[in-house]
Amino acid sequence: MRIAVVGAGGHGRVALDCLRVRSGDDLDLAFFDDRWAEVREVDGVAVLGPVEALYAVPEWDLVFVAVGDNAARRRIAEDLVRRGRRLVTILHPHTAISPRSTIGEGTIAVDGSVVNAGALVGRCVILNTLSSVGHDCVVEDFVQIAPGVNLGGGAVIERGAFLGIGAKVVPLARIGAWSVVGAGSVVLGDLPARSFCYGTPARAVRPLTLEEVPADAV
Ligand SMILES: CC(C)(COP(=O)(O)OP(=O)(O)OC[C@H]1O[C@@H](n2cnc3c(N)ncnc32)[C@H](O)[C@@H]1OP(=O)(O)O)[C@@H](O)C(=O)NCCC(=O)NCCS
């Protein structure tokens, strides 16, 4: 199988590792990244060109978008799908994903991540190392759950939100779309959309600027 990975940075490297652990050496892999002139290779896999070059090579039709910035990941993934590419889902073998949960395409579950029964995880979500998604949670498209984050049962993380390392969310709390929750925060209640939040209990400190979350991130 041939898989193109978009994004040759740190997250791309993690995705590559997960793919290799999952499928051994049978995969034909390549990176595409707009910084291809500076980054020519990652862990033995070539960077073949900028993202746009992917469209000139129809054989690379399966793609994983390994871009950490949630808004950029959304933009690139939606463009790829619009232009006929299929998004790959990566589940590291050392995860515990309930068969009674749903995981959307283009999502990655890195080693040690747990998804419990009834959870709905959307498209192009990052579930990073040792994170847990409790029963019946909803994690919408383009969310990023950093290492060591724990979501209590029934929590709702709206589209594009970012939860920093070690953040904790109590059951049933809702985090608004595209908000950023700082590392180590403890979320005891709902947080508004497009806000910079942190602390224990986590509070919305200020709205995010359009530079931080572009207006087209919807
Ligand atoms: C939320 C975050 C991204 C903000 O970074 P930033 O925009 O550079 O913000 P700054 O560091 O300039 O901090 C701005 C203010 O918020 C405070 N702050 C930021 N994050 C905080 C946190 N998690 N807890 C408490 N206070 C925090 C800072 O102390 C600073 O306060 P001050 O203005 O009184 O000095 C960062 O703090 C964070 O949590 N990063 C986690 C990254 C992560 O998990 N990555 C995973 C990749 S695998």
| Same domain, residue pair 102 and 152 | yes
Which of the following is catalytic: 11, 92, 94, 135?
135
Nearest C-alpha to atom 47 of ligand 1 is from which residue? Answer: 146
Ligand 1 pocket test: which of 131, 194, 198 has the largest number of ligand atoms within 8 Å of its C-beta?
198
Domain holding 98, by residue range, is 91-207
Return mean pLDDT, the chain. Answer: 96
Q: Is 92 a catalytic site residue? A: no
CA distance 36 to 39: 5
Ligand 1 mean position to 3 CA, how many Å?
35
Is there a cis peptide before residue 58, judged by omega within 30 degrees of 0? no
CATH number, residue 183:
2.160.10.10
pLDDT at 218: 78
Domain boundary among 51, 66, 88: 88
Residues 151, 201, single domain; the answer is yes
Whether the predicted pLDDT of 217 surpasses 90: no
The whole-number pLDDT of residue 212 equals: 93
Sign of CA dihedral 165, 170, 172, 178: negative
Q: In terms of domains, do 83 and 96 share one?
A: no
Report which of 182, 208, 209, 184 is spatially closest to residue 197, judged by C-alpha positions.
182
CA separation for the pair 21, 85 (Å, rounded): 24
Q: Looking at the structure, do residues 36 and 122 belong to the same domain, yes or no?
A: no
Q: What is the pLDDT of residue 214?
A: 83
Does a structural domain hold residue 217?
no
Instruction: Flag whether 214 is in a domain.
Output: no
Centroid of ligand 1 to alpha carbon of 164 (angstroms): 9
**Degrees to nearest 5, angle at CA 22 with 112 and 128:** 30
Q: How far is CA 4 from CA 33, 70, 107, 147, 172, in A?
A: 10, 19, 15, 25, 37
Task: Judge whether 213 lies within some domain.
Answer: no
The pLDDT value given to residue 22: 87
DSSP letter, residue 93: T
Position in ligand 1 atom list of the atom nearest CA 128:
48
> Looking at the structure, do residues 66 and 24 belong to the same domain, yes or no?
yes
pLDDT over 80 (residue 25) = no
Same domain, 169 and 101: yes
Ligand 1 geometric centre to CA of 159 (Å)? 20
Count of domains forming the chain: 2
Atom of ligand 1 nearest to the CA of 129: 48
Of 32, 60, 88, the residue at which a domain comes to its end is: 88
**pLDDT tens, residue by residue, 98-151:** 999 999 999 999 999 999 999 999 999 999 999 999 999 999 999 999 999 999
Q: Are residues 71 and 106 in the same domain?
A: no
Residue 76 has pLDDT above 90, yes or no: yes
Q: Is 2:62 a contact under the CB 8 Å cutoff? A: yes
**Residues whose beta carbon lies within 6 Å of some atom of ligand 1:** 128, 146-147, 164-165, 180, 182-185, 198-199
**Residue 212, in any domain of the structure:** no
Same domain, 151 and 178: yes
74 with 96, same domain: the answer is: no
Which residue, 88, 103, 123, sits at the end of a domain?
A: 88
The number of the ligand 1 atom at minimal distance from the alpha carbon of 166 is 44
Specify the pLDDT at position 33.
97
Q: Are residues 95 and 187 in the same domain?
A: yes
In terms of domains, do 42 and 113 share one? no
Instruction: Read off the pLDDT of residues 83-95 as tens digits, 9 standing for 90 and up.
Output: 999 999 999 999 9
pLDDT digits (tens, 9 = 90+) for 33-67: 999 999 999 999 999 999 999 999 888 989 999 99
Which of 13-22, 24-33, 59-68, 128-137 is predicted with the least confidence, judged by mean pLDDT? 24-33
Residue 162 CA to residue 198 CA, distance in Å, equals 11
Global pTM reads 0.96
Are 119 and 190 found together in one domain?
A: yes
Confidence of residue 215 (pLDDT cuts 50, 70, 90): confident
Interval between CA 122 and ligand 1 midpoint (Å)? 26
